[in-house]
Amino acid sequence: MTHAVLDRIAAAHQRPGPVVMGVVNVTPDSFSDGGRWIETDSAIAHGRELVAEGATIVDVGGESTRPGAERPSEDEELRRVVPVVEALAADGIAVSIDTMRASVAGAALDAGAVIINDVSGGLADPSMPALVAASGAPFVVMHWRGHAHDMQTRAEYDDVVAEVCAEMMARVDVLLAAGAARDQLVLDPGIGFAKTAEHNWQLLADLERVVDLGHPVLLGTSRKGFLGSVGRAEGDERPLDARAVVTAATSARAARAGVWCVRVHDVTATVDAIDVATALGELSS
């Protein structure tokens, strides 16, 4: 990696395998833990806990992107995230801001965030590419086809891996044209966003094709519905708080594929899975 922020994060990581990004949802309605960290003090404490468990990055978000979610106002999103970002950054923690709004991303960068994680890849806010270019901050370009309220109606592909790769690279071209640098851009195939369970498994099976696009890759599978149902009969899905192990299994798969970062709620389980893969000689040091 040649981007200064990503290089610093890699140096702080000091372990084989991908960087671990811990999730802090400062929301009342996130699919996995909505409301648990909505209070500023509890969100800050949780971010610190994730770092103690082995996260190198803490991803702070104030808008749920679960299927069917409604968007908060800009003011409400700012109220939720900025104090949390500011406190964690003051501790020296590498913070990413999970937002689709350029105004929120800019405020979070001013508060000390170092990465913008935009699930829309810059599509939701036409001001985002210019902010990315002006800030120079690493930017996560996730594959996205629409907002949460109707995204699953867009889950139609002839070749999901090829189409996801092509659509992400089209966003890269837009960001480069806006003045962003190539080494700023991180790719995320958008597991669960406008994708069926079958699409998610196909992307996981062929993650190397995403890595081969030449950008750092972030993977976010944590606690998602397809992991609740894998191997289970209908009506017998794993509850949200029982998906740490299946999430960790996908993190180990991502590590073998060479992804840069895995975004998870249950940091300890993922760190353990990556440690096992390392002990088996499956990862380079």
Question: Which residue is catalytic, options 101, 171, 224, 253?
Answer: 224
**DSSP secondary structure string, 19-57?**
EEEEEEE--S--TTTTTTT-SHHHHHHHHHHHHHHT-SE
Is 263 known to be catalytic? yes
User: Is 216 strand, coil or helix?
Assistant: coil
The Cα 85–Cα 44 span in angstroms is 8
CA-CA-CA-CA dihedral for 60, 285, 184, 221, to nearest 10: -40
Question: Within 10 A of 42 (CB to CB), how many other CB atoms are there?
Answer: 15
Question: Which residue is catalytic, options 171, 223, 238, 263?
Answer: 263
- E strands in the chain: 19-25, 57-61, 94-98, 115-118, 139-142, 185-188, 218-219, 261-264
Locus of tokens 């149902």: 229
User: Is 58 strand, coil or helix?
Assistant: strand
The Cα 147–Cα 95 span in angstroms is 24
CA-CA-CA-CA dihedral for 240, 193, 43, 63, to nearest 10: -130
140: phi then psi, degrees, rounded to nearest 5: -85, 115
Strand order in the sheet with 94-98: 185-188, 139-142, 115-118, 94-98, 57-61, 19-25, 261-264, 218-219
Which residues are annotated as catalytic? 224, 263
